[in-house]
Structure 1
Amino acid sequence: MKMITIYHNPRCSKSRQTLGLIEEKGRKFVVKEYLKNPPTKSELEQVIDLLAIKPEQLVRKGEPEFKENFKGKDLTDAEWIEAMIKYPKLIERPIVIDGDNAVLGRPPENVLKLL
């Protein structure tokens, strides 16, 4: 069995619930607290590719950083990626990766597709 990776924010209830589901299934995992150690551009591009979404779809639009800096702006994919690198709070959470598959844990039950 491969190691699961979870991009996690311990202050987020959905992230904690998703991590709990992984633990319940007995899967080995590694936690990446992306607010403490933001992903690199390459890592974020890989995550977006695995999720098969556009970068803007990974942006949390309710965050103050979004409202203050990006609301109403039309950014390119590359600019959205740079925004998430500069402001990691903008990255939707949790993201769970198992090999070549990834899901957003919103709702947490989405992770069951990987388990």
Structure 2
Amino acid sequence: MRTHEREILIYYNPRASAHKKVIALAKGMGVPVRTFTFEQAPSTSTSWQQIIAALDIHPKQLLNKADPYYQEHIRGCDFSEECWIKVIQNNPELIKAPIALRGNKAILCEQATDIYKLQQENAKV
């Protein structure tokens, strides 16, 4: 998934203060920031495949394995990549950290300061 180089797009959980911190840091980077809750995130598997490809991770790595729902219903399952994407589509609240996109780069912001990786990457271009 490609976004414009001049803006940052962030998918996040509005109930998590750490996620709000990522947004605050992004807004301080001097570029426009568009935010969407995980519930507003793309709903198609193709969109999720593009995001996951840009992140260069396995879909399972997006999930909060400590979440009670994950522990009760998903833990121990060995799904195909396509099935993991369906888990994400149907349970976006399980995504463990904000996802930030800028141009053709994507970052899973497990630490709030991870957002700066988009700034550094863009500076190299």
Regarding TM over 0.5, the answer is yes
Q: Which runs of 5+ in 2 are unaligned?
A: 120-125
2:40 counterpart of 1:55: no
> 1:8: how far off?
1.4
Any residues of structure 2 matched to 1:8-87 within 5 Å, and which? 8-35=12-39, 37-40=40-43, 41-87=45-91
1:3-43 deviation per Cα after TM superposition (whole angstroms, max 9, x unaligned): 210001121122111101111122101111112x2422122
Question: With structure 2 as the length reference, what TM-score do the two structures score?
Answer: 0.84
1:58-107 deviation per Cα after TM superposition (whole angstroms, max 9, x unaligned): 11111122112111111111111101111111223201000100111111
By percentage of residues, which structure has more helix? 2
2:10 counterpart of 1:6: yes
* Structure 1 contact 4–30 (Cα < 8 Å) conserved: yes
* Structure 1 contact 14–105 (Cα < 8 Å) conserved: no
2:122 counterpart of 1:108: no
Question: With structure 1 as the length reference, what TM-score do the two structures score?
Answer: 0.91
Q: SS where residue 106 of structure 1 aligns?
A: coil
Q: SS where residue 2 of structure 1 aligns?
A: coil
* Structure 1 contact 65–87 (Cα < 8 Å) conserved: no
Cα RMSD of the aligned pairs, angstroms, is: 1.3
Q: Which runs of 5+ in 1 are unaligned?
A: none
**What amino acid maps onto 1:105 in structure 2?**
C
**What amino acid maps onto 1:72 in structure 2?**
G
Paired residues in the alignment total: 114
